[in-house]
Amino acid sequence: MTPGFIRTLTILAAALSLAACNTGPTGVRITNGGTSATTDKTPVPITDFNAEQIRAAISGKTFQYTRADGNGFITYNADGSFSYQDDVKGGGIGKWTANGTEYCETFGKAPPECGVFRNTGDAYFAAKSRLVEMKV
């Protein structure tokens, strides 16, 4: 047998092996203990909240927040105040307001940060923060 013939047989065997693997299901599968790890939830359209919806969504609740300048936990009170604990900067207090479709947060003496309050189905986006509710 020549080296060229052996190489041809090797390539042919590899091609047949790959072809045999291609007869099953295709795509990437992620499993979790033998069951699918993908969600069966129906996607929710992104929704901009009005003031009443904002109050109902955050009053009396604690969230984990993610921002460009930090991460931590924040608790919103019904009286328009909040307290937060940043992972790096420590804790503090502030005020929040909702008027029409505008949402604003004021941290200490800094100027207010305002923007649209959105629900994406699994999180809220409030001004410059991504909020995920902490459920006990």
Q: How many CB atoms lie within 10 A of CB 70?
A: 13
- The 10s digit of each residue's pLDDT in 5-33 is 666 656 655 555 555 555 544 555 555 55
Which pLDDT band, with edges at 50, 70 and 90, does 116 fall under?
A: very high
In this predicted structure, what is the pLDDT of residue 109? 87
Q: Is the pLDDT of residue 112 over 70?
A: yes
Q: Is the pLDDT of residue 117 over 70?
A: yes
- The 10s digit of each residue's pLDDT in 54-84 is 999 999 999 999 999 999 999 999 999 999 9
Who contacts 51 (Cβ-Cβ below 8 Å, separation ≥6)?
A: 98, 99, 100, 101
CA distance 46 to 66: 18
Which pLDDT band, with edges at 50, 70 and 90, does 108 fall under?
A: confident
- Which range among 28-32, 89-93, 98-102 shows the weakest confidence by mean pLDDT? 28-32
CB 100 within 8 A of CB 50: yes
Q: Is the pLDDT of residue 120 over 60?
A: yes
Task: Tell me what the mean pLDDT of segment 78-99 comes to.
Answer: 95
Helix (H, G, I), strand (E, B) or coil at 57: helix
In this predicted structure, what is the pLDDT of residue 107? 87
Task: Please compute Rg for the chain using Cα positions.
Answer: 26
